[in-house]
Structure 1
């Protein structure tokens, strides 16, 4: 199976990333239609040079990226695995690759935000060492948000 999996580092301008993000947004707004106005601005990415894509059998199936949060910390963003590729370990592979990349760039911590109905995501992040923390800006006061942190 390993020969069927390829991961690449790219940017947010990559057309496969853009396609996967459109699918992510669609799934989020279907699951949380009431939150679209509160969260939409947090999901717009400026040019991001820190994107990881996973291809399975030459098809883009998973993505994630990070952005600088502060001088020591990155924030994981736009994590998504297409429904047909779930349960194959791709999300954990993306988290690991993003953390390693950030560590190589000199960052010591990673933070992230997910929504309270994303039980699979919370479980994944806890499995790889993230702990729930107080909500950080811009998620302070948003009761549907769960914020997490890990030393990388």
Structure 2
């Protein structure tokens, strides 16, 4: 397993995000358009692509949220490569990068229709917080936070 730090112009990152968007369109159903508007990648400067034997199999990104926090975005692992620790390690690599950039926390939003994502974040030390920003009052959203030590 190797990791490459990229930005949103990276072709492997873009390919994985297309697969993520296709999956979310099915899971989110009629709510997909609402969520999709907050998941544009053109401004993401801090993205990671995970590789197994030169195949791009997982990705994630961070973007500034406030002065002390980044928001985790666009987490995805190829379904055929799940249960191998790729998502956990991709998230860990994003946390390392966030600390290098001087941030103290990570925040994120995921959907209640993504139980494997919720399990990942809880396993990795994230705790639920009240929904923030555009997710306030959205019943299908769950928000998390983690202090970076």
Q: TM-score range by the shorter chain?
A: over 0.9
Match of 1:112 among 98, 108, 113: 108
Residues 55-113 of structure 1, C-alpha deviations (whole Å, 9 max, x = no match)? 11111000000000000000000000001110000000011000011011110010000
Local SS of the residue matching 1:55: strand
List gaps (5 residues or longer) in structure 2: none
8 Å CA contact 1:76–1:110 kept in 2: the answer is yes
Q: How does 1:5-84 map to 2 (within 5 A)?
A: 5-84=1-80
CA distance in 1, matches of 2:59, 2:51: 9
CA distance in 1, matches of 2:40, 2:56: 21
Alignment RMSD (CA, Å):
0.8
Report the TM-score when normalising by structure 2.
Answer: 0.97
Equivalenced residue count is 148
Deviation, structure 1 residue 48: 1.6
8 Å CA contact 2:128–2:143 kept in 1: the answer is yes
Local SS of the residue matching 1:70: coil
8 Å CA contact 1:13–1:47 kept in 2: the answer is no
Which structure 1 residue ranges, 4+ long, deviate > 2 Å from structure 2? none
Report the TM-score when normalising by structure 1.
Answer: 0.95
Determine the structure 2 residue equivalent to 1:151: 147
CA distance in 2, matches of 1:114, 1:150: 14
List gaps (5 residues or longer) in structure 1: none
